[in-house]
Amino acid sequence: MQYKNRSFFTVISLIIFISFHPNLSSAQMITGVWKGKINKKKTELKIIQKGDSLLGTSYYYESENNYRRYSIKGYFDPNTNKAVWWDDQLLEERTGKLGLNTPGKTPYFSSADFNCPGSDKMFLDGDASLKHRTKSEGPVHLEKTDQSLFPDEWDFIIENYTAGANDPYYIDSIASIASIPVAMPEEIIVQPKQKDPPAKTHEIVRVNTPPVHKAETVKVQSPPKPEQKLNVKKTIEEEFKIREKVIAADIPLTGDSIELRFYDNAEIDGDSISLFLNNKLIFQHIRLTAAAYTIKLPVNELNENNELVMVAENLGSIPPNTSYMLAIVNEKRYEAMLKSTEETSAVIKLTKPKDQTSNPSKN
């Protein structure tokens, strides 16, 4: 297996830092190596927690010489022990000697509960779907282990996480190294050398060619340029009206309130959004980051049918503007990927069940 070029300074400074810090007792934590299956495919997952964010790598494999490796991003809620992560960028792929198809062709979006039935047993159990989150593709079942089939940059962090390697400086340094895809060497196919065909003999025919005359240069006048229109930037309210609205999620409203958390689901690149509720602007200039931007709406003040619309104010440095949204309603969790461009906005439908709207006393 080929390794990516690592920052010599980062690795050496990390080793020096760790050598002066004694190992602490290993607490039950999501950081570590996880093995099992995602949608019935053999998987090794390396997770590193940084605040409420998750980083790391995922391997879908048949053997140590036949696999695909992705960088992953995600979030972890310690209050509910819910982990969400997705395959972000394909870093590496290897095909076995027999030329079989490499597993992991489809990147997944996974959501799982972090369970600790015993001091020596930890599991991630949930579901995996495609990245656009339309339906479940298969189950997630992973168990934490101290054995890794695929060594990579994250091993420094995982092995010494409680001894100081959880410092954001080291995590960010390793992340920058591990996010660079490896350039795979192209297979060189040597064609058998062919014999030169026998030379053919041709008769030489002399032809009297007519004299060549120089073409006259004709000046062509370009048509007058039309008057340029003034580039007047539209307000966010005008953008809301003209953009096509695409439904991304339909969430039932129960209980007293709905809590909505918005994250940037890709590289933090300066995405910002506005939120409209039932055609009215309620929040503006929300900058999406790895930390959640949280809003709460009282259910009894909402209509039977509501539309919450996410409008991109800008597309950041990496279009389109994409957001991961987590909604918590009456202790139930709903997740959605929201995408907004210069032509479209993402819509979240918030609907009260009929039995609840007919009996206001239940609210």
One pLDDT digit (tens) per residue for the chain, 363 residues: 444 444 445 555 555 544 444 433 334 589 999 999 999 999 999 999 988 888 899 999 998 888 999 999 888 888 888 999 988 888 888 876 655 577 888 888 899 999 887 667 899 999 998 865 567 888 999 999 988 999 888 888 888 887 777 787 778 777 777 777 765 544 434 444 455 555 444 444 444 444 444 444 445 455 444 444 445 678 889 999 999 999 988 999 998 999 999 887 655 657 788 999 999 998 888 888 878 888 899 999 999 999 999 998 876 555 566 788 889 998 888 988 888 888 899 999 999 988 765 554 444
Q: How would you list the strands of the sheet with 293-298, edge to edge? A: 293-298, 257-264, 321-329, 332-340
Whether the model pTM is above 0.85? no
Give CATH 2.40.128.30 domain extents, the chain: 8-178
Answer yes or no: CATH 3.40.720.10 is held by domain 8-178: no
| Architecture of the structural domain at 236-356 | Sandwich (2.60)
CATH 2.60.40 segments of the chain: 236-356
